[in-house]
Structure 1
Amino acid sequence: MIDCQMCSKWLDEPEMRVAELEHSYVLLNRDQFFPGYCFVFTKTHVTELFHLDQDTRAAIIEEVNAVAAALFAVFQPTKINYELLGNMVPHMHWHIVPRFTTDPLWPRPIWSDPHEPLMLSPDDYRFRIQAIAELLSRR
């Protein structure tokens, strides 16, 4: 789709790529204020779950679940948050966010207060991406 930042995100941010799954892409969020924060977004431009046929919808939910399970295994958070909004970027995408009781916004939503983005070194991004990708490759 023209002018959809999610449609081009996989090509625009190759250094953040975690995995290409059957129906979706997984990228590590550049801002790692919440360690492990990833995006899961559909390969095709779609805005609503009900726009998908039942089998595709179920498969995408399983992919989201696999990413959450991998994040849980790597980061051992207190909770995983799942955000599927699409108001600002109307392309189906989930924010999968490991949460810890020690994070400054706990237990509030990640959007409740602004924060300074936490940028990592290229090696630290690669380490996180590889750890998550390794678990996803076993699914």
Structure 2
Amino acid sequence: MTCPLCTLPAGELLYEDARLWVLLVEEAGYPGFCRVIWKQHVREMSDLTVTDRSHLLDWVMRTEIAIRHVMQPDKINLASLGNVVPHLHWHVIPRFADDAHFPSPIWASPQREGADHSQPQLAGLLRTALLEQAAS
């Protein structure tokens, strides 16, 4: 089986280092939906060394902070499922009380027609917020 996450997957690259990518992905109704993807093909967090786990979780948190700073959502959802694609990655999802699924997960049945929370130049704003954190 070819893994869709072993090479740079679809999405706008916000940050990259030797071990991971941070991507802004196209998810209808959910602007700001990011994935933090470990480059090496591993299935679980426990497959990583302590240092690598810390690095990955640090970038999940940096991504959350950037989204909160730029978008000011009501909540952030973090998920590392990997049931469909068993390659270690985290979903970082800004949630708003008026989105289509709130308070349920975005993969549940919609509760309503969601409000539009898209922003012009969102990728650039998130990239800047991530790079500012990388410099600190």
TM over 0.5: yes
Return the offset for 1:35.
2.0
CA deviations 1:9-66 (Å, max 9, x no partner) are x2x53x6111113521011111241120011100111110110111110111001000
Give the distance between the partners of 1:63 and 1:83, measured in 2 at CA. Answer: 14
Report the number of matched residues: 127
Matched, 1:68 2:64: yes
Write the distance in 2 (CA, Å) between the matches of 1:69 and 1:21.
18
Greater helix proportion: 1
User: Which runs of structure 1 show a deviation greater than 3 angstroms over 4 or more consecutive aligned residues?
Assistant: none
Say which of 59, 73, 79 aligns to 1:77: 73
Specify which of 77, 94, 97 is matched with residue 93 of structure 2.
97
Partner of residue 128, structure 1? 122
Corresponding residue for residue 6 of structure 2? 7
Q: TM-score, normalised by structure 2?
A: 0.85
Gaps of 5+ in 2: 113-119
User: Cα RMSD over matched residues?
Assistant: 2.1
> What's the TM-score, normalizing by structure 1?
0.83
Equivalent position of 2:104 in the other structure: 108
Q: Percent identity at matched positions? A: 34
The residue identity in structure 2 corresponding to 1:53 is: T
